[in-house]
């Protein structure tokens, strides 16, 4: 009888440990799968045009799928041929054309990729 009770207690403790462990891990996994939060992803682009306005600059860049993205910047001195890594948010939709640029990172300069983009633009 004591062995059966001990086995039941041990099984209960193990089961509760597993349940509590899974419950602690659920928010991170649930947050990633929850469409309310959307998904973030990087997009590597090359700057091909910079339009100077009075208060800011409009920087236009193109990705390898020939999609054009633009963002405003008044702090960094962008130049044509610069590689811009865009942190994108999918806006909780399947349409890639309504994605938003959340952050922009300078990744260097690539003249060969820039000349390829200029060929695509013709």
Q: What is the pLDDT of residues 22-72, one digit of tens each?
A: 555 544 444 444 445 568 999 999 999 999 988 889 999 999 888 999 999
Please give the Cα distance from 80 to 82 (Å, whole number): 6
Per-residue three-class SS string for the chain: CHHHHHHHHHHHHHHHHHHHHHHHHHHHHHHHHCCCCCCEEEEEEEEEEEEECCCCEEEEEECCCCCEEEEEECCCCCCCCEEEEEEEECCCCCCHHHCEEEEEEEEEECHHHHHHHHHHHC
Query: What percent of the chain is modeled with pLDDT above 90?
Result: 34
113 touches 61 (CB < 8 A) = no
pLDDT at position 54 is: 82
pLDDT at 115 > cutoff 50 = yes
Q: Which CATH architecture has domain 40-121?
A: Beta Barrel (2.40)
């Amino acid at each position: 009888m004591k062995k059966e009770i001990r086995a039941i207690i041990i099984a209960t403790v193990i089961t509760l440990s597993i349940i509590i462990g899974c419950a602690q891990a659920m928010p991170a996994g649930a947050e990633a799968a929850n469409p309310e939060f959307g998904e973030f992803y990087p997009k590597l682009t090359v700057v091909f045009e910079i339009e100077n306005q009075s208060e800011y600059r409009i920087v236009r860049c193109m990705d390898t799928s020939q999609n054009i993205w633009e963002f405003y910047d008044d702090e960094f001195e962008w130049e044509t041929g610069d590689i811009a890594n865009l942190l994108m948010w999918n806006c909780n939709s399947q349409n890639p054309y309504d994605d938003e640029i959340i952050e922009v990172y300078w990744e260097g300069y690539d003249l060969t990729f820039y000349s390829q983009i200029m060929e695509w633009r013709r």
